């Protein structure tokens, strides 16, 4: 199809971006414009030796960066905050070109690193400051908790939010004094490469933030083996592999994995609010959000009312390939992923599910477009019933009691996100607290939880280990050093002292400390 590429995305601009990626054997991957399937640029592919050199460069730069006072490190991100906002439209163009998402989702994605910077610019001085604590003997000993950077953090970013995850997950690690080696997905390497360029324009030392590219099985093992910590966002299957290798290397990792997220609508929920929320929950980013809704539980007494309103609203959505704000929904990320989504729908229909609307590819719009799809009658013997589809497909289910709805919502190996809707907020919160999920949104789908940067966000069960955001979103990138000081040699018996006498005094001292409240 014919579509004019954004003016900012020139061939020279793209070649300059990918020149940062090392490839000693000259291997490349064809990075295409999703809307049209046309070649954008040949993306270099990194060899094992390239990855090793990237870590060596990052490690050398990290030593100097960590020695820089925190205040000086944070000044870089104050400048970057302004620069990211100033260049948001260019970043949006790149995100759309490489991922095919609609412009609203692309521009919103550019806001995430800015929000993360803003939060940790305020929190970092307190989180990274030494904390002096009492030692075992009052007045004569001290113990100070010091936060030291891990070293070089390996980040493996997904294709669905390449800029937000590739850059946002790096910010707190860099502030804490670490270096980064990032592996973006081949399909969506352009926007994170541009984000690194902006960080360097803001003053980040060159060499500190490295990028390597390649298919996961080719690049991942070497990256993990050389990293001091790994941050991964992606599928549960890949997360298990990464977690196992990190464990063998005795390094920490944070894994945000898949979800089969439920939405419970209570009887007193507002119809218009539910429909508006469900549209974004099921079809935002073309359903390619780890926290998006794939299972919707509706009260039997209002099932038909909610169903009909939701179907009508879905059929009003405008699909399209456009670099303006016209379309409500864009493309899936690739023809291969579109076929995966179609296979889930076809499997459900073959096993007895009903398509209420959608259910078909749209090759007239582009090679990876798929209609927003609502299914009814989905059961657990269907792929769409238990496996993450990760596309614009949602299944509707009836329930008779709230207890039944909660039981159905919890009947999954996943536990990343959930949504509860009701006019009585206190009751909705009580329902939410009974759902086994790392994030629960009341009268919202996901934005309230994910955008609350002061609170950790992560999954339970098979949806992950650890979390991003909150204090732990920075502290996970540090090691705790216990700097203990003994001011006078009073630990242990004195030379020639009767040991029974020493033990008696030691135990008596411990009793006195307990009574005095000294720990």
What does the pLDDT look like over 173-204, one tens digit per residue? 999 999 999 999 999 999 999 999 999 999 99
Res 416 pLDDT > 60: yes
Helix (H) or strand (E) holding 192: helix 190-201
- Provide the 10 A C-beta neighbour count for residue 14: 21
Res 333 pLDDT > 70: yes
- pLDDT, position 137: 85
Q: How much of the chain, in percent, has pLDDT values that exceed 70?
A: 99
| DSSP E strand stretches across 201-289 | 209-211, 229-233, 252-256, 261-265
Please report how many Cα atoms fall inside a 13 Å half-sphere around the Cα of residue 456, on the Cβ side. Answer: 17
Q: Residues 313-327: what's their mean pLDDT?
A: 98
Chain-centroid distance, C-alpha 98:
19
pLDDT band at 423 (very low <50, low <70, confident <90, very high): very high
Q: Supply angle C-alpha 125, 60, 124, rounded to 5.
A: 10
- pLDDT, position 510: 82
Rounded Cα gap, residues 465 and 239, in angstroms: 9
User: Pairing relation of β-strands 373-376 and 393-399?
Assistant: parallel
Note the pLDDT tens digit of each residue in 379-411.
Answer: 999 999 999 999 999 999 999 999 999 999 999
- Using an 8 Å Cβ cutoff, are 367 and 335 in contact? yes
Note the pLDDT tens digit of each residue in 349-377.
Answer: 999 999 999 999 999 999 999 999 999 99
**Phi (first) and psi of residue 424, to 5 degrees:** -85, 100
- Give residue for tokens 């992950």: 464
Could you tell me what percentage of the chain is helix, strand and coil, using 3-state DSSP and rounding each to the nearest 5?
A: 45, 20, 35
Res 338 pLDDT > 80: yes
- Provide the 10 A C-beta neighbour count for residue 218: 15
What are the Cα distances from residue 223, in Å, to 242, 249, 255, 266, 379?
10, 12, 15, 46, 40
Q: Which value, to the nearest 10 degrees, does the dihedral of the CA atoms of residues 500, 501, 506, 508 take? A: 110
Note the pLDDT tens digit of each residue in 135-176.
Answer: 888 888 999 999 999 999 999 999 999 999 999 999 999 999
Give catalytic status of residue 256 as yes or no: yes
User: Of 447, 128, 509, whose CA–CA distance to 293 is shortest?
Assistant: 447
Q: Coil, strand, or helix at residue 90? A: helix
Note the pLDDT tens digit of each residue in 286-301.
Answer: 999 999 999 999 999 9
- pLDDT, position 493: 77
Res 1 pLDDT > 60: no
Res 93 pLDDT > 80: yes
- Using an 8 Å Cβ cutoff, are 83 and 241 in contact? no
Note the pLDDT tens digit of each residue in 35-92.
Answer: 999 999 999 999 999 999 999 999 999 999 999 999 999 999 999 999 999 999 999 9
- Using an 8 Å Cβ cutoff, are 269 and 422 in contact? yes
What are the Cα distances from residue 469, in Å, to 327, 443, 453?
31, 22, 5
pLDDT band at 519 (very low <50, low <70, confident <90, very high): low
Q: Residues 255-266: what's their mean pLDDT?
A: 98
Identify the active-site residue in 33, 108, 109, 256.
256
Q: Coil, strand, or helix at residue 84? A: helix
- Provide the 10 A C-beta neighbour count for residue 184: 28
Res 274 pLDDT > 60: yes
- Provide the 10 A C-beta neighbour count for residue 333: 26
DSSP state of 176: T
Helices (H), 227-299: 236-248, 271-283
- pLDDT, position 381: 97
Rounded Cα gap, residues 189 and 182, in angstroms: 10
Q: How much of the chain, in percent, has pLDDT values that exceed 90?
A: 92
First-last CA distance in the chain:
72
- Give residue for tokens 């990138």: 477
Q: Which value, to the nearest 10 degrees, does the dihedral of the CA atoms of residues 303, 306, 311, 313 take? A: 180
- pLDDT, position 224: 98
- Using an 8 Å Cβ cutoff, are 307 and 377 in contact? no
Tell me the average pLDDT of the chain: 96
Q: Residues 464-488: what's their mean pLDDT?
A: 96
- pLDDT, position 2: 65
What are the Cα distances from residue 452, in Å, to 388, 448, 507?
25, 6, 48
Which residues touch 106 (CB under 8 Å, ≥6 apart)? Answer: 92, 95, 96, 99
Note the pLDDT tens digit of each residue in 19-47.
Answer: 999 999 999 999 999 999 999 999 999 99
- pLDDT, position 494: 82
């Amino acid at each position: 199809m014919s579509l004019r590429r954004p003016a900012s995305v020139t061939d020279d601009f793209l070649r300059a971006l990918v020149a940062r990626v090392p490839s000693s054997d000259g291997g490349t991957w064809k990075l295409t414009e999703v809307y049209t399937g046309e070649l954008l640029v040949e993306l270099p592919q990194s060899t094992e030796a390239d990855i090793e050199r990237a870590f060596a460069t990052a490690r050398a730069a990290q030593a100097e960066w960590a020695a820089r006072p925190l205040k000086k490190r944070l000044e870089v991100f104050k400048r970057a905050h302004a620069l990211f906002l100033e260049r948001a439209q260019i970043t949006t163009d790149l995100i759309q070109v490489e991922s095919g998402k609609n412009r609203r989702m692309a521009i919103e994605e550019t806001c995430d690193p800015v929000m993360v910077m803003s939060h940790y610019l305020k929190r970092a001085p307190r989180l990274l400051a030494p904390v002096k604590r009492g030692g075992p003997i009052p007045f004569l000993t001290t113990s100070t908790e010091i936060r030291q950077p891990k070293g070089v953090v390996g980040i493996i970013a997904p294709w669905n939010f390449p800029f937000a995850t590739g850059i946002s997950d790096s910010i707190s690690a860099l502030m804490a004094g670490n270096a980064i080696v990032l592996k973006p997905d081949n399909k969506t390497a352009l926007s994170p490469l541009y984000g690194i360029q902006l960080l360097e324009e803001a003053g980040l030392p060159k060499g500190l933030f490295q990028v390597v590219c390649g298919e996961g099985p080719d690049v991942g093992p070497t990256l993990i083996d050389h990293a001091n910590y790994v941050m991964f966002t992606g599928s549960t299957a890949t997360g298990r592999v990464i977690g196992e290798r990190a464990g063998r290397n005795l390094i920490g990792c944070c894994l945000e994995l898949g979800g089969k997220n439920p939405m419970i609508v209570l009887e007193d929920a507002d119809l218009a609010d539910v429909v508006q929320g469900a549209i974004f929950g099921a079809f935002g980013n073309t359903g390619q959000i780890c926290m998006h809704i794939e299972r919707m539980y509706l009260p039997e007494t209002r099932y038909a009312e909610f169903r009909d309103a939701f179907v009508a609203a879905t059929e009003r959505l405008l699909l399209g390939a456009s670099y303006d704000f016209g379309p409500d929904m864009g493309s899936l990320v690739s023809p291969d992923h579109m076929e995966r989504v179609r296979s889930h729908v076809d499997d459900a229909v073959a096993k007895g599910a009903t398509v209420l609307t959608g259910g078909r590819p749209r090759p007239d719009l582009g090679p990876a477009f798929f209609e927003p799809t609502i299914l009814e009658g989905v059961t657990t013997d269907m792929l769409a019933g238990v496996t993450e589809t990760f596309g614009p497909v949602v299944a509707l289910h009836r329930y008779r009691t709230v207890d039944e709805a909660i039981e159905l919502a919890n009947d999954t190996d996943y536990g990343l996100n959930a949504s509860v809707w009701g006019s009585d907020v206190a009751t909705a919160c009580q329902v939410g607290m009974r759902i086994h999920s790392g994030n629960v949104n009341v009268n919202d789908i996901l934005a309230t939880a994910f955008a609350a940067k002061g609170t950790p966000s992560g999954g339970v069960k098979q949806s992950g280990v650890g979390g991003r955001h909150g204090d732990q979103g920075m502290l996970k990138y540090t090691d705790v050093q216990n700097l203990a000081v003994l001011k006078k040699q009073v630990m242990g018996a004195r030379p020639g002292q009767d040991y029974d006498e020493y033990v008696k005094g030691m135990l008596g001292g411990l009793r006195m400390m307990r009574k005095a409240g000294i720990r």
